[in-house]
Chain A
Amino acid sequence: MNLLAFNLPLVVLLPFVGAAFAAWASRLNRLGAAYTSGLVTLLSLALLMPSVPLPFHDQTLIQTWDWVPDLGLYFSFRLDGLALLFALLILVIGLLVIFYARYYLSAKDCMGRFFAYLLMFMGSMLGIVLSENVIQLVIFWELTSITSFLLISYWQHRKEARQGARMALAITGAGGLALLGGMILLGEMVGSYQLTHILAAGDLIRAHDWYLPALILILLGVFTKSAQFPFHFWLPHAMAAPTPVSAYLHSATMVKAGIFILARFFPALSGTIEWTLLVGGAGLITLLIGAYTALFKHDLKGLLAYSTISHLGLITLLFGFGTQLAAVAAIFHIINHATFKASLFMVAGIVDHETGTRDMRRLGGLIHYMPHTATLAMVAAAAMAGVPLLNGFLSKEMLFDQAVIASSISHWALLLPVLVTIAGLLSVAYSVRFIMDTFFGQPKSDLLHTPHEPPRFMKIPVDILVVVCLAVGILPALTVSPILETAVAGTLQAEVPDFSLAIWHGFNAPLMMSIAALIGGVALFLKRDTLFQLYQRHEHVDAKRYFQASLQGILNLAQTVTQRFDKGSLQHASAWVIAVSLAAGIVGFAGFNGSLLGETPVQSVDTLTVIVGLLGALAALMTAIWHRKRFVSLVVIGVVGLVIAIGFVKFSAPDLALTQLSVEVVTIVLLLLALYFLPQASPKEINRVRLWRDALLAGVSGIGATLLTLSVLTRDFDSISTYFLENSVPGGGGTNVVNVILVDFRGFDTLGEIVVLALAGLGIYSLLQGMTLPAPKNDLRGRLWNPDKHPLILQTLTRLLLPLMLMVAVFVFLRGHNLPGGGFIAGLIASVALIVQYLANGIDWTRTRLQIDMHWAIGLGLLIAIATGLVMMAMGYPFLTSAFRHMHWPVVGEFELASAIAFDLGVFLVVVGATVLSLVQLGRLSHSSHAGSTWKS
């Protein structure tokens, strides 16, 4: 088994698995999480080890598995020089931070959560640097945003932690989305999401139309993550995180992810004027703003945060130069910055830990209490300032050198050496301040406790980092040179240019600039009091305020828009639906060929039809006009229904007319029952605008519906209906085509419709179950209801009528297949017969005599209808296949027995059950409407 075939994904995934273990281990032992994390990190490191030699031999290790190959997504990992450098930084500094955090966190803090988050972060970071597939890279990129959100908000009870975390997530999350967009464009340009292909396609990419949008999107990702101007402001607020997190994420690793992208895509994207302007410009501004602001921060971590921003700007600027040597310098500074800045953060944490404050105005003279820590801090700060014999000096010289070279490009570029020297000068000044104000001067007495050295082991990580600063600074060729060369080779994907890591290059421009920066910086520090006063006199841009104001702005916009649109008003919502429907009709007609009306001439109409039609229209209009008097409008709407029924009769559809009539009756009864509980008059609509809007919508809808109908009716009608006419008797065994369609040709529709009816009944039942509503005791004019609830004549008459009505129902049912009628109409007639009993005699009287639970009628009806279909299925035919036989019985004579009649019986039962169930349920809603009495009789 060859480890080199699959070790990279293990290196990345192990920390994620380890996170679960760490969380679990912390339950067993307070420090269990720390030890587990350390172990996991070591294990990851060990897994990486076998492949470490490869990049040194100019080999790139790629391990790929299919993921979504159709789209070019692979689960794919890559180890070259650049990836190796970053992976080592992440793992080694991670190990030191874990070690440090074990001492840093107090007993109150939940260790398991902290280390689990930290490990997940480590895995995500490793994923970024080891990805070969750029979409996979984005996935890990966003994971660092999420895990850093969790880490910054680790002390969740602190407001600034929550806010800082959300700000970081918003900014870096936005960058991540932009990066995703950029990567997708990049992949489309190259035709592959694999880095190998992208890095080899630099010329194609730079010449592509999408180069600039892709570059901007990718740089948005870079600048947000690496805190470049104008997105730098989130980083200082992320300092609300525990100090180990700041040391790890916000100086050594996560903020370098953006820089990593610059390095990674250097061969593919750099070398254009756009690149130089955007990257170099952002880097230069960030370098200066960061260094300037750092000088005025009183909080140790605040100073370090802005210093970090400034150094990130420095690295970005170097990449912006776009030359190979500048890239060398950039990579070198990445290593150097990680070492000295991580150690300085740890020192800040130690100071905070031991004194209870990080405010330099309250600190001083700590060298007397913690000489060891002070020494470490001084060396690291000297490296940050760029003092010779330390690593920071070397990379800063390279920057100065590059700036001098770049200054020859144009007049404006002449400013470059001046500006970077100023930045260097500022950096010296704040480094000196960090040391002097913390460790020298008079010890302050108002500290919480007397400071002393931290536990020995807490300092070990700092020791190691500081030794590295020294070793690299003094013996660069022996220490850092091999890994730097390898990393540069990985970055450039080309031969490494000649560069010299010597400490002494003779008296040249960069050395002069260094000396100027050192002297100027110390001078600036000495004048600091005057400077602070000057600084305080001016208003300063508080980016957090702007950020929150714009966020609040978006929030307000969101709320305004949402409340304006989603008003929770039914009228508003319905108006939109109707308006959109109108628009749809108009757009359809306007957008395509064809006249509104067809060729078929409109038939002439007789006077009677016109009168009846107008009556219907008038009734519809009056319903709307009288809608506030609900009872009246209900009566008028009955006229509309009646006119429709007459219309059906006129156009030879007696079945439909019968159905319409009986539906009309049942619906009116239902509405009457419902009206009983509703206010008897509707409130007047006072909003004139809305009134006219609605009138307009209604009017135009009416016209639209008429035109659509006319448009259809004036065209030739050639449909499948002839088939139904021809096959009704031979195929369906019935001469009433409407009924045969209902129970045979389209019996399945009818099955669906009776399910709907059943649902309506059950729905009304379950909605009103257990509900009682107070009903009005009098009508609109204040008259009491008639005390005679069940008039005797009505009672007698209905009891007499019952058998007669049921007979009619049976008759209509039986003749249905051949003549107008059928289960649906019969069911409605039977329902009316039963309901009349309830109305005339009261619910309880009727129920004692009619002991059928209507649930059963519904269930049984459905079952019969389904079973009719199933019988045929059992015989090997499709569901609902019909069968019929002509029978000849003595006395009865010739008749036809169709399987459809069983189906129709199901329909009948469901109709009766659902109708009676819902009407009775409505009727019994109130037991107290008639003063002093109830519905009981």
Chain B
Amino acid sequence: MTDWPSLPFLALLVPLLGGTLILLAKPFGLRLQRILGLLLTLGLLFVSVDLLEVAFEQGHRVYTLGNWAAPYGIVLVLDALSAMMVSLTTVLALAALWYAIASGIDRQGAHFHVLFQIQLFGLNGAFLTGDVFNLFVFFEVLLLASYGLLLHGGGRLRTRGGLHYVVINLIGSTLFLFAVGALYGLLGTLNMADMAQAVADLPTSDLAPVAAAGLLLLVVFAIKAAFFPLYLWLPGAYAETSAPVAALFAIMTKVGLYAIIRVHGTVFGPEAGELAFYHQPFVLTAGLIGLGMAALGVMAAKGLRNQVAYLVLASVATLLIGVGLNTPQALGATLYYLIHSTLVAAALFLLADLIAKGRGSYADRFESAPAMPQAVLLGGFFLFGAIAMTGMPPLSGFMGKVFILDAALAHDWSAWVLGMILVSSLLMIVAMARSGSLLFYNTLDGASNGEALNRPGLVSVLGLFLISVGMVVFAGPILGMTEAIAERAYDVGPYVDQVLNTPTQDAQWLKGGH
């Protein structure tokens, strides 16, 4: 383990500097850009491992950007939760990037690798920042990078999906400014830890506007996290974009969710008096309704990629339920499910692309087509993915659901949670059995006009699936880890103390003088 003071910042520096260098390397060709992209992402993987170790061993680590102490300057805060998110993102990015290179999708337009790295910069920034306005900036970075990636490769439907995505998210950005502006006006600060203190000391007469602004901010995150009924941008955008981008975007909804856990969980956390966790019932309700709607969407889907997009929505809704249950145990279970659902959803997007290419002109539509090349192999993969994603045993989806159900029993709404999760699982199982049967069993005679299987691309899917298996075998230690993370996330005190008491370095000799 290497540990130096700037470690948290490295997770941002690597992709930012990397993206810039890849941009400058453009005249030297795609090959160099690819190598740089892979090396940088691998480098980021090492950084993530370090981050995890440091976070677990030392608790919170605060990095004062510009040597300005919180709450005046911007700080990055490394803790177990943010380290986990950064690591998850990196693993996902590696699989997506490998697939993009293996399938040559990165060749279909300019700047794929630049956008990819900057996207990682935005993601890691959103996970690490301790400042609400800085979070807004990273949301903008994310939005622009993801919009560029969404449209990568072009096409009518893709552009349409991208437009919906960007317009809805721009409304979200505007709302973000309203909410942050109001909160700054009321609390006088932008640093999350400082805001938490301000809310704890809030005079009763100011509760209402703060509550309203907090809920507006929740709506902003809810758009990102694809809450019901704000998820309408997602199915079109995810189903129409290129496979590696859709795979990488499996983490995008989790950014919104993370922001809720981080911002609302801190500012409106256990110390917030009347406002303590006042947002959670909304999260839980949105999750319950959203899960039902998503399950119906999975059933109604007419193509595989659309179906996977709705499966993503279902997994997000399940996560919302877990967060909304509002106990450390439930959050621990949710984080386990979050890792699982992110990786498996990504794998399914990649797999859907391989299947669609194998079926040629039939693409991923649910209609009978001639058998695709390597149908048995792909069918096995599909079965695996379907089992994992619908939460059937013995894969990680099942474990995650069991953990969440177990945690739900303590809640007043446990019957609703149990019922909704089990019924929606059934609907999704039925739907996936139907689509698998259509894609692999109910085939027409004759040869497919699709492409041969891209085996290097399949490696990404395999890798992600293997992690799912690993998550079952090592469910104990992994759940132990996510539960520890959840415990710390609920223990806001040390976070606030550490952020507000991290001193800056003496830099007097740099300032002024003759």
Q: Which residues of A contact B (CB under 8 A)?
A: 66-71, 73, 135, 138-143, 146, 149, 153, 156-157, 159, 162, 165-166, 169-170, 173-174, 177-178, 180-181, 184-185, 187-188, 551, 554-555, 557-559, 561-563, 565-566, 568, 570, 572-574, 576-578, 580-581, 584-596, 598, 705, 708-709, 711-713, 715, 717-720, 723-724, 727, 730-731, 733, 744-749, 752-753, 755-756, 759-760, 762-763, 765-767, 769, 855-856, 858-860, 862-863, 866, 870, 872-873, 876-888
Contacts and interface: CB of A to CB of B under 8 A. Distances in A.
A855 B20 CA distance: 10
B92 interface: no
Interface string B46-89: 00000000000000000111111001111000000000000000
Contacts of B137: 749, 752-753, 756
B156 to A, nearest CB: 12
6 contacts: A70-B480, A181-B422, A558-B300, A574-B167, A591-B208, A718-B188
Contacts of B144: 756, 759-760, 763
B429 A169 contact: yes
B429 A759 contact: no
A496 to B, nearest CB: 34
B373 interface: no
Nearest to A885: B513
Question: Which of A135, A159, A762, A872 has the largest count of B CB atoms less than 10 A from its CB?
Answer: A762
Given A551-B430, A566-B297, A744-B66, A71 B403 contact: yes
Given A752-B141, A762-B114, A146 B208 contact: no
Interface in B448-499: 475-476, 479-480, 483
Interface stretch (B96-104, B146-154, B252-260, B314-322): B146-154
A457 B204 CA distance: 87
A587 B167 CA distance: 25
B265 interface: no
Contacts of A156: 440-442
B165 to A, nearest CB: 10
Interface of B: 5-6, 9, 13, 16-17, 20-21, 23-24, 26, 63-68, 71-74, 109-111, 114-115, 118, 121, 125, 133-134, 137-138, 140-141, 144-145, 147-148, 151-152, 154, 163-164, 167-168, 171-172, 175, 178, 181-182, 184-186, 188-190, 194, 204-216, 218-219, 222-223, 229-230, 232-233, 235-236, 274-275, 278, 293, 295-297, 299-300, 383, 387, 392-394, 398-399, 402-403, 405-406, 409, 418, 422-423, 425-427, 429-430, 433-434, 437, 440-442, 475-476, 479-480, 483, 504-505, 507, 510-514
Contact of A753 (B140, B214, B429, B442): B140
Given A554-B299, A555-B299, A759-B148, A170 B211 contact: no
Contact of B211 (A185, A562, A592): A592
B509 to A, nearest CB: 9
Given A70-B476, A863-B24, A712 B209 contact: yes
Contact of B475 (A73, A559, A598, A756): A73
Contacts of A752: 125, 134, 137-138, 140-141
Contacts of A169: 429-430, 433
A871 B109 CA distance: 34
Contacts of B216: 581, 584-585, 588, 708
A570 B63 contact: no
Nearest to A764: B148
A45 to B, nearest CB: 24
Nearest to B140: A756
A442 to B, nearest CB: 41
Contacts of A747: 65-66
Nearest to A856: B24
A592 B206 CA distance: 9
Contact of B206 (A554, A565, A594, A727): A594
Contact of A717 (B13, B163, B188, B205): B188
Contact of A592 (B145, B152, B190, B274): B274
A554 B422 contact: no
A748 B74 contact: yes
A278 to B, nearest CB: 19
A595 B429 contact: no
A339 to B, nearest CB: 31
A195 to B, nearest CB: 17
Q: Could you tell me the dominant secondary structure of chain A's interface residues? A: helix
Nearest to A744: B66
A584 B218 CA distance: 8
B219 A570 contact: no
A539 B56 CA distance: 69
Q: Could you tell me the dominant secondary structure of chain B's interface residues? A: helix
B206 A888 contact: no
A578 to B, nearest CB: 7
A581 B426 CA distance: 33
Q: Which 7 A-B pairs have the closest CB atoms?
A: A588-B212, A719-B188, A594-B208, A712-B185, A752-B137, A883-B510, A139-B393
B167 A855 contact: no
Contacts of B212: 584-589, 708, 711
Contacts of A157: 441
Contacts of B141: 752, 755-756, 759
Contact of A589 (B72, B110, B209, B483): B209
A576 B230 contact: yes
Given A584-B215, A717-B185, A752-B141, A188 B409 contact: yes
A748 to B, nearest CB: 5
Contacts of B133: 746, 749
A592 B275 contact: yes
Contacts of B479: 68, 70-71
A652 to B, nearest CB: 18
A24 B32 CA distance: 41
Question: Which of B181, B296, B427 has the largest count of A CB atoms less than 10 A from its CB?
Answer: B296
Given A562-B300, A759-B115, 8 more contacts: A73-B476, A146-B392, A557-B296, A574-B171, A598-B205, A746-B133, A759-B145, A883-B507
B392 A173 contact: yes
Contacts of B434: 166
Contacts of B387: 146
B189 A719 contact: yes
A73 B473 CA distance: 12
A139 B472 CA distance: 12
A715 B212 CA distance: 15
A859 B18 CA distance: 11
A763 B147 contact: yes
Contacts of B476: 66-70, 73
Nearest to A561: B296
Contacts of B235: 566
Nearest to A170: B430
